[in-house]
């Protein structure tokens, strides 16, 4: 860094400025503008302006009818409970698990363990989990012979009116993501030295973790936690499958109102979508407030100097719960895989009574899979190229990323999808884009780009500046430095970021549905649609494929660098 | 390009409603349709229907050069919303929805807002096999006159299914469900009334319990609603505490409920398709001992239609598909229990002998009821009743 500051004083190189501006404009026009425009359309409808359905009176009427809808208050309470509860608990479990397991598993082993759950779309995990914990589910079928059940017990273990099953589902799905970002953050900190220093001073392992390591990790994972929070407040597919039904959570209710035969319901639905956005904002502020409070209390707690050996049971408990949640996730996947080759499997049999490959033969999954593949590859290519351009532009103009730029990148992930997708579709219709591949690719890129940026930013910055310095001193210009040095050295993390982007694209449900006018049928839209048929065998087939594609992408991201650099051991580095 | 069709349509409008179309007009439609891909928006939750639509695609492509692409919906209203969004955005020519599987409130909503293309039914050559007299089921959809704006394609009748190995004391009337549920607490449920089948369960009870069932055929008023539904709510209040999960939670739709019957979580499921039980047995998703029953006084029946939005990009292709669906051979294929098992919408009196023989030769299954064994078919109430009924239910029972 010091060298760069000497050779490139405050004035950025002109070509650096051009690249930076170009990338910024692409992001502004391609990602931010559609989202703002879409949000604007939704906002207008929320205040009574939707000329298409004859609504032209500006006012609060949509909000009044929203509040008057049956079950509104319960739906609101459910949304807050499951949304905020799941984010807090998932973070707690992830912290406890990392505190106990860090150093015992390598980052790479961690990645391998987590990717299957990470790669599978939410809907698939939810369907598997619902089968696992239902009163007639797999767990009950295993207990049935011992308990002497001939019919399932009457327990509300899914779709319970408190939303506990949904809470569990969200934790199972978000925990691996949080573990992964914590592991990535840890790789940037001198954890081992600090741990040994702490332990030498007589602190318990877990307490060093909480008192010393976690405060350093938090700033690095704050945004991902907020992404999880935003997702949990606006999730639709998981909430339909696991959540309460009468009333459902607010996001589900809003989706239903959007699809009501009475088109005037679009107005309160829009108000509901805006409300979800406001809730997300409020929850974000709550987290930031909590950060301050914890900082104050934490400081006092630190200075008290407790060695925290009594904390050990609590840590074991959270880590145990985290392990259980991971196990539930993996079992859900296994259940889906088994169902996909089942002919008949009725209660209380612990395993299928008859097997069949029929759904693999019959289901028309090939077309859906090729759409998924096409969308995944295209959007990943676009997003990865854009991300590399952005990072390279940052390098060339030698300025760190501004806070507002980070906010721009995260915008699509922090805003609830439902708040802008309906409006965005109206917009795309007006410019004649809706219903086509282009619109869907565009829609996917909105969400793929942020994830690729998140995954690639840290490894990019961690690149040894000495390499660039040597290249420059050998006379390599900026382009040659990029193509001959940076890209090859960073190949492994670039491919990993691309694999993450691919997985994100595969999992997109609402953007594909809204912007594709339903014509672009991917594995995910088919799986969610078919989940309304409740035929677990077919859903199992689609969900297995949903998991298999991203899984293959991860495997490729791991294998390619090893193949290309098989005689360049140093280039394989420590990156997974 | 579509000028000839438009011309023939205006011609139709100016001539008496059911004037037989000339063959030349249809030939023009066929010519215009060749090469088109018809995006058929249809609920995608039923795998057999999805497979049937794929079969339609293979047939129409071979016969007429018209491809059919199913847009799978989780709810028919999605397609309605899509057409409305398109209208809002000024898309009046190249709409993305060509054909919708529709009936009841969705049809009423689209018809009232002028979102449909037509009338086109009388132009279809195969319409000659339909009974299109003013009061026939093919001419009235939830008491709303069809007016040629949608074409029938399958017959639906509300039935209950149960596992005969587990249950024998079935209720004979809707009123009898209260006692049955009291004797078997937690073993009965119905789909959420926001869902079509859940609403039909309530309507089925309403028809039996209403003081004056004839009032249900007229558009609902606040007064008539209060009078006619009072006994229904009394019945439901007595039933609800003994429902599955104490009537606090409901399955999302009839497929989920069928899965619950299969899992043994409840004893009774319901469907709008008398053949669904037999088909589910064949697919391994219900036990061999599953059977169908209806209340003694009969059950609600209706016809499912296909409609063409006003802005459909492929109207000619859509008409060709609608006509193909009315072909006696298609209807017989559809009634085949191994295919779909839906009863034909054609008027048996209008079929010729070979066509009738095709129907008679269809295979049968132990769980497949005959149309006669299902009792009388009750008329759907006016569509406004369903909307009001679901709203009132949500107000009363959603906390």
- Report if residue A6 sits inside a domain: no
* Per-residue pLDDT reduced to its tens digit, A455-478: 888 888 888 888 888 988 998 888
Quick one: pLDDT at residue A489?
Answer: 87
pLDDT tens-digit readout, A17-27: 788 888 888 88
pLDDT, tens digit, 9 for 90 and up, residues B77-112: 888 888 988 888 888 888 989 999 998 889 998 998
Pair (A320, A446) in one structural domain: no
Q: Is A56 within 8 Å of chain B by CB?
A: no
According to DSSP, the β-strands at B377-378 and B299-307 are parallel
Q: In sequence order, which ranges of A508-568 are alpha helices (DSSP H)?
A: 510-515, 523-531, 536-564
Q: How many CB pairs under 8 A join A and B?
A: 164
Of residues A382 and A258, which shows the higher confidence score? A382
pLDDT given at position A363 = 61
Looking at residue A417, what is its pLDDT? 84
Q: How many other CB atoms sit within 10 Å of the CB of residue A546?
A: 30
Residue with tokens 């190229």: A385
Phi (first) and psi of residue B297, to 5 degrees: -75, 5
Residues B229 and B353 in one domain: no
At which of A289, A320, A355 does a domain end? A355
Contact of B377 with chain A, judged by CB distance below 8 Å, is answered with no
d(CA B259, CA A346): 10
Please give the pLDDT value at position A273: 93
CA-nearest residue to A532 within chain B is B45
Contact B249 A52 (CB under 8 A): no
| Distance of residue B114 Cα from the nearest chain A Cα, in angstroms | 12
Please say if the pLDDT value at position B226 is more than 90.
yes
Write the residue in A151, A346, A517 that is nearest to B262 by C-beta. Answer: A346
- DSSP per-residue codes, B324-339: HHTSHHHHHHHH-TTT
- Contact list in B for residue A430 (CB cut-off 8 A) is 89-90
Q: Rounded to an integer, what distance in angstroms lies between the CA atom of residue A100 and that of residue A147? A: 36
For A70, which residue in chain B has the nearest alpha carbon? B395
Per-residue burial over A368-382, b = 16 or more CB atoms within 10 Å of its CB, e = otherwise: bbebbbbbbebbbeb
pLDDT band at B13 (very low <50, low <70, confident <90, very high): very low
The whole-number pLDDT of residue B1 equals: 38
Q: How far apart, in whole angstroms, are the C-alpha atoms of residue A295 and residue B55?
A: 65
Phi-psi sector, A249: left (phi>0), alpha (psi -120 to 50), beta: beta
Same domain assignment for residues B216 and B283: yes
- The answer to whether position A126 is within a domain reads yes
The CATH number covering residue A531 comes to 1.10.3720.10
Asked whether the CA dihedral A34, A37, A40, A41 is positive or negative, the reply is negative
User: Among B77, B186, B264, whose Cβ lies nearest the Cβ of A259?
Assistant: B77
Using alpha carbons, select from A224, A247, A260 the residue that is nearest to residue A79: A247
Tell me phi and psi for residue A150, to 5 degrees.
Answer: -105, -30
pLDDT single digits (tens) B312-324: 999 999 999 999 9
Q: Are A259 and B78 inside 8 Å of each other by CB?
A: yes
Q: Which of A571, A525, A562, A529 is nearest to A121 (CA)?
A: A525
In a domain, A296, yes or no: no
Which of A265-279, A374-388, A419-433, B239-253 is predicted least confidently? A419-433
Name the least confident of A4-8, A441-445, A521-525.
Answer: A4-8
Do B118 and B49 fall into the same domain?
A: yes
Parallel, antiparallel, or unpaired for β A354-355 and A342-344? Answer: antiparallel
Q: Does B264 touch chain A (CB under 8 A)?
A: yes
Best residue in B68, B85, B250, B256 for a mutation probing chain A (most A CBs within 10 Å): B85
Task: Return the pLDDT at A1.
Answer: 35
CB-CB under 8 Å, B71 with A517: yes
Same domain, A209 and A315: yes
Residue A65 resides in a domain: no
**Averaging pLDDT over each range in A546-560, B27-41, B279-293, which range is the top one?**
B27-41
pLDDT band at A255 (very low <50, low <70, confident <90, very high): confident
User: Is residue B213 located within the same domain as residue B362?
Assistant: no
Q: Are residues A52 and A100 part of one domain?
A: no
Instruction: Tell me the per-residue pLDDT of B160-213, one tens digit each, with 9 for 90 and over.
Output: 999 999 998 999 999 999 999 999 999 999 998 988 899 999 999 999 999 998
Predicted pLDDT at B321:
97
Indicate whether B107 and B229 sit together in one domain. Answer: no
Asked whether the ipTM of the predicted complex exceeds the cut of 0.85, the reply is no
Q: Which residues of B touch A347 (CB under 8 A)?
A: 263-265
Nearest one of A341, A375, A449, A531 to A28, comparing CA atoms = A449
Query: Same domain for B338 and B286?
Result: no
Instruction: Work out the pLDDT band at A402, boundaries 50, 70, 90.
Output: confident
- pLDDT for A10 beyond 50: no
Confidence of residue A107 (pLDDT cuts 50, 70, 90): low
Cβ within 8 Å, pair B81-A517: no
Domain match, B184 and B240 both: yes
Per-residue pLDDT at B266 exceeds 70? yes
* Closest residue of chain B to A245, computed from CA coordinates: B249
* Per-residue pLDDT band at A129 (split at 50, 70, 90): very high
| Of B231, B222, B235, residue with least CA distance to B190 | B235
Mean pLDDT calculated for residue range A149-172: 90
Based on the domain organization, do A150 and A244 belong to the same domain? yes
**Helical H runs in A397-518?**
403-414, 417-430, 437-461, 465-473, 478-480, 487-489, 491-507, 510-515
Query: In the predicted model, what is the mean pLDDT of residues B327-333?
Result: 94
Q: Which of the pair, B279 or A528, is modelled with greater confidence? A: B279
Residue A282 located in a structural domain: no
Choose the weakest-confidence range: A243-247, A301-305, A468-472, B90-94.
Answer: A301-305
Q: Cα B259 vs. chain centroid, distance in angstroms?
A: 21
Statement to judge: residues B146 and B192 lie in one domain? no
Nearest by CB to B263, from A347, A363, A530: name it: A347
Q: Do B237 and B380 fall within a single domain?
A: yes
Q: To the nearest 5 percent, what fractions of chain B are helix, strand and coil?
A: 45, 15, 40
Q: Is residue A478 part of a domain?
A: yes
Quick one: A489 and A426 in the same domain?
yes
Structure tokens at A551: 């899984």
Conformation bin of residue B104: beta by default, left when phi > 0, alpha when psi is -120 to 50: left
Instruction: Give the integer Cα–Cα distance in Å for B76 and A286.
Output: 39
Taking 60 as the threshold, does the pLDDT of residue B10 lie above it? no
Q: How many CA atoms lie within 13 A of A151 on its CB side?
A: 16
Q: What is the pLDDT of residue B4?
A: 42
Is A455 in the same domain as A395? yes
B322: distance to nearest CA of chain A, Å? 20
**Residues with Cβ < 8 Å from B357, sequence gap 6 or more?**
none
- Does residue A433 sit within a domain? yes
- What's the CATH number where B213 sits? 3.40.190.10
Buried b (16+ CB within 10 A) or exposed e, B263-296: bbbbbbbbbbbbbbbbbbbbbbbbbeebbbbbbe
Structure tokens at A206: 């877990």
Residues of B in contact with A432 (CB under 8 A): 91
Tokens (6 digits) for A154: 């009457």
At A308 the pLDDT is 63
- Cβ separation of A429 and B44 shorter than 8 Å? no
* Chain A residues close to B282, C-beta within 8 Å: none
CA separation for the pair B236, B188 (Å, rounded): 13
Coil vs helix vs strand at B365: coil
CA–CA distances in Å: residue A243 to residues A236, A329, B16, B250, B259: 10, 17, 54, 11, 17
Counting every residue written for chain A, the total comes to 576
pLDDT band for A116, please (50, 70, 90 cuts): low
Residues of A in contact with B78 (CB under 8 A): 259, 518
pLDDT of A379 = 96
Domain assignment of residue B73, given as a range = 3-154+302-366
- Answer yes or no: do A339 and A233 share one domain: yes
Query: B39 pairs with which residues across the strands?
Result: B69
Decide if A526 and B106 are in contact by the 8 Å CB cutoff.
Answer: no
Residue A259 lies in a domain: no
- Which B residues, 126 through 185, put their C-beta within 8 Å of a C-beta on chain A? none
Cβ atoms of A523 and A365 closer than 8 Å: yes
State residue A207's pLDDT score.
Answer: 78
Q: Over range A190-207, report the average pLDDT.
A: 83
Structural domain span for residue A191 = 77-248+311-355
Reply yes or no on whether the pLDDT at B120 is more than 90. yes
| Record: contact B249-A246, CB cut-off 8 A | yes
How confident is residue B231, by pLDDT bands cut at 50, 70 and 90? very high
Say how many domains are in chain A.
Answer: 2
- Exposed, middle or buried: residue B69 (CB in 10 Å: 0-12, 13-18, 19+)? middle
Q: Could you give the CA distance from residue A38 to residue B213 in angstroms, rounded to a whole number?
A: 47
- Judged by CB atoms within 8 Å, which residues 354-373 of A form the interface with B? 354, 356, 362-364
Contact B192/A at CB under 8 A = yes
Q: Are residues B172 and B263 in the same domain?
A: yes
Residue A490 has pLDDT above 50, yes or no: yes
A282-286 contacts at long range (C-beta below 8 A, 24 or more positions apart):
A283/A83, A283/A84, A283/A87, A283/A229, A283/A230, A283/A233, A284/A226, A284/A229, A284/A230, A284/A414, A286/A84
Residues in a beta bridge with B141:
B144
Residue A26 β-bridge partners: none
- Cα separation, B357 vs A69, in Å, equals 54
Number of domains chain B is built from: 2
Q: Does B89 touch chain A (CB under 8 A)?
A: yes
My answer on whether A404 and A494 are in the same domain is: yes
With both helix axes pointing from N to C terminus, report the angle between A164-186 and A312-340 in degrees, rounded to the nearest 10: 110
Is the pLDDT at A361 greater than 90? The verdict is: no
A257 contact residues in B (CB cutoff 8 A):
none
Least confident of A229-238, A526-535, B242-251, B354-363: A526-535
Q: How confident is the model at residue A520 (pLDDT cuts 50, 70, 90)?
A: confident
Q: Contact, A252 vs A239, CB < 8 A?
A: yes
Residue among A53, A71, A240 minimizing CB distance to B88: A53
- Mean pLDDT, chain B, integer: 88
pLDDT in tens, A169-198: 999 999 988 988 888 788 778 888 888 888
Question: End-to-end alpha-carbon separation of chain B, Å?
Answer: 55
- Measured over the CA atoms of residue A372, residue A375, residue A379 and residue A380, the dihedral's sign is positive
Give yes or no: residues A321 and A458 share one domain.
no
Please check whether residues A318 and A417 belong to one and the same domain.
no
Q: What is the per-residue pLDDT for B22?
A: 52
Average pLDDT over chain A reads: 85
Higher-confidence position of A238 and A400: A238
Question: How many Å apart are CA A81 and CA B80, to the nearest integer?
Answer: 33
- A162: chain B residues, CB-CB within 8 Å: none
């Amino acid at each position: 860094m010091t060298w760069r500051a000497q050779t490139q004083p405050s004035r950025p190189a002109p070509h650096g400025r051009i690249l930076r501006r170009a990338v910024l404009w692409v992001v502004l026009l391609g990602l931010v503008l559609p989202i703002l425009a879409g949000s604007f359309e939704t906002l207008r409808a929320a205040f009574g302006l939707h000329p298409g359905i004859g609504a032209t009176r500006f006012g609060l009427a949509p909000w009044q009818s929203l509040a008057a809808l049956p079950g509104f208050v319960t739906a609101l309470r459910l949304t807050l409970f499951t949304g905020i509860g799941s984010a807090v608990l998932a973070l707690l479990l992830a912290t406890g698990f990392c505190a106990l397991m860090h150093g015992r598993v390598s980052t790479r082993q961690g990645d391998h363990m987590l990717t299957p759950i990470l790669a599978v779309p939410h809907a698939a995990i939810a369907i598997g989990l619902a089968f696992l914990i239902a009163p007639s589910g797999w767990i009950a079928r295993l207990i049935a012979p011992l308990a002497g059940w001939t019919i399932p017990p009457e327990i509300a273990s899914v779709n319970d009116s408190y939303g506990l099953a949904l809470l569990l589902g969200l934790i199972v799905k978000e925990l691996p993501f949080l573990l992964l970002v914590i592991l990535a953050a840890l790789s940037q900190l001198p954890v081992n030295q600090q741990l040994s220093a702490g332990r030498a001073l007589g602190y318990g392992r877990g307490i060093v973790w909480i008192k010393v390591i976690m405060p350093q990790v938090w700033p690095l994972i704050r945004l991902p936690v907020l992404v999880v929070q935003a997702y949990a407040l606006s999730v639709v597919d998981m909430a339909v499958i696991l959540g309460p039904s009468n009333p459902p959570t607010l996001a589900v209710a809003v989706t239903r109102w959007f699809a009501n035969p009475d088109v005037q319901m679009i107005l309160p639905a829009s108000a509901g979508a805006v409300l979800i956005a406001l809730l997300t904002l409020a929850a974000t502020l709550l987290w930031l407030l909590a950060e301050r409070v914890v900082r104050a209390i934490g400081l006092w707690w630190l200075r008290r100097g407790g060695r925290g050996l009594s904390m050990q049971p609590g840590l074991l408990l959270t880590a145990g719960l985290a392990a259980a949640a991971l196990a539930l996730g993996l079992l859900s996947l296994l259940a889906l895989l088994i169902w996909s080759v089942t002919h008949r499997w009725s209660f209380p049999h612990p395993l299928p009574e008859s097997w069949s490959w029929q759904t693999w033969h019959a289901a028309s999954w090939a077309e859906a899979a090729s759409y998924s593949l096409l969308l995944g590859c295209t959007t990943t290519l676009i997003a990865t190229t854009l991300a590399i351009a952005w990072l390279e532009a940052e390098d060339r103009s030698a300025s760190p990323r501004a806070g507002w730029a980070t906010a721009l990148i995260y915008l699509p992930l922090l805003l609830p999808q439902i708040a802008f997708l309906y409006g965005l579709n109206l917009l795309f219709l007006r410019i004649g884009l809706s219903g086509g591949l282009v619109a869907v690719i565009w829609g996917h890129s909105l969400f793929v780009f942020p994830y690729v940026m998140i995954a690639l930013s840290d490894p990019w910055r961690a690149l040894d500046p000495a390499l660039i310095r040597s290249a420059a001193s050998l006379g390599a210009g900026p382009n040659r430095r990029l193509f001959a040095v940076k890209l090859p050295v960073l190949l492994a993390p670039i491919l990993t970021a691309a694999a993450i982007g691919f997985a994100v694209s595969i999992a997109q449900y609402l953007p594909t549905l809204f912007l594709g006018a339903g014509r672009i049928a991917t594995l995910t839209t088919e799986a969610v649609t078919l989940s309304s048929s409740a035929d677990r065998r077919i859903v199992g087939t689609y969900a297995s494929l949903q998991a298999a594609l991203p899984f293959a992408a991860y495997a490729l991201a791991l294998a390619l660098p090893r193949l290309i650099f098989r005689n360049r051991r140093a280039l394989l580095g420590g990156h997974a | 390009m579509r000028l000839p069709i438009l011309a023939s349509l205006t011609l139709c409008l100016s001539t008496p409603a059911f004037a037989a179309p000339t063959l030349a007009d249809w030939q023009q439609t066929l010519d215009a349709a060749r090469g088109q891909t018809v995006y058929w928006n249809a609920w995608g939750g039923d795998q057999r229907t999805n497979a049937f639509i794929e079969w339609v695609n293979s047939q129409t492509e071979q016969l007429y050069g018209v491809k059919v692409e199913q847009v799978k919906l989780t709810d028919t209203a999605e397609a309605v919303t899509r057409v409305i969004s398109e209208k809002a955005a000024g898309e009046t020519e190249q709409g993305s929805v060509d054909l919708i599987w529709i009936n009841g409130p969705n049809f009423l909503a689209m018809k009232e807002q002028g979102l449909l293309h037509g009338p086109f039914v009388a132009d279809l050559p195969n319409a000659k096999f339909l009974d299109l007299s003013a009061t026939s089921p093919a001419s009235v959809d939830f008491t709303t006159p069809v007016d040629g704006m949608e074409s029938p394609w399958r017959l639906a009748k509300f039935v209950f299914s149960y596992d005969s190995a587990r249950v024998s004391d079935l209720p004979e009337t809707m009123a009898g469900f209260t006692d049955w549920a009291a004797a078997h607490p937690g073993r009965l449920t119905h789909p959420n009334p926001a869902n079509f089948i859940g609403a039909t369960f309530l309507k089925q009870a309403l028809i039996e319990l209403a003081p004056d069932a004839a009032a249900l055929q007229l558009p609902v008023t606040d007064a008539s609603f209060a009078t006619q539904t009072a006994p229904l709510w009394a019945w439901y209040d007595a039933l609800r505490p003994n429902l599955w999960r104490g009537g606090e939670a409901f399955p999302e739709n009839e497929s989920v409920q069928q899965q619950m019957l299969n899992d043994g979580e409840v004893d009774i499921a319901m469907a709008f398709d008398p053949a669904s039980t037999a088909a589910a047995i064949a697919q391994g998703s219900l036990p061999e001992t599953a059977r169908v029953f209806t209340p003694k006084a009969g059950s609600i029946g209706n016809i499912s239609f296909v409609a063409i939005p006003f802005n459909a990009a492929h109207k000619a292709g859509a008409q060709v598909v609608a006509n193909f669906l009315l072909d006696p051979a298609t209807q017989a294929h559809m009634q085949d229990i191994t295919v779909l098992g839906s009863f034909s919408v054609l008027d048996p009196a209008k079929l010729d002998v070979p066509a009738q023989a095709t129907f008679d030769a269809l295979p049968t299954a132990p769980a497949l009821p005959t149309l006669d064994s299902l009792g009388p078919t009750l008329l759907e109430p006016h569509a406004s009743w369903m909307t009001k009924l679901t709203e009132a239910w949500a107000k009363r029972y959603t906390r």
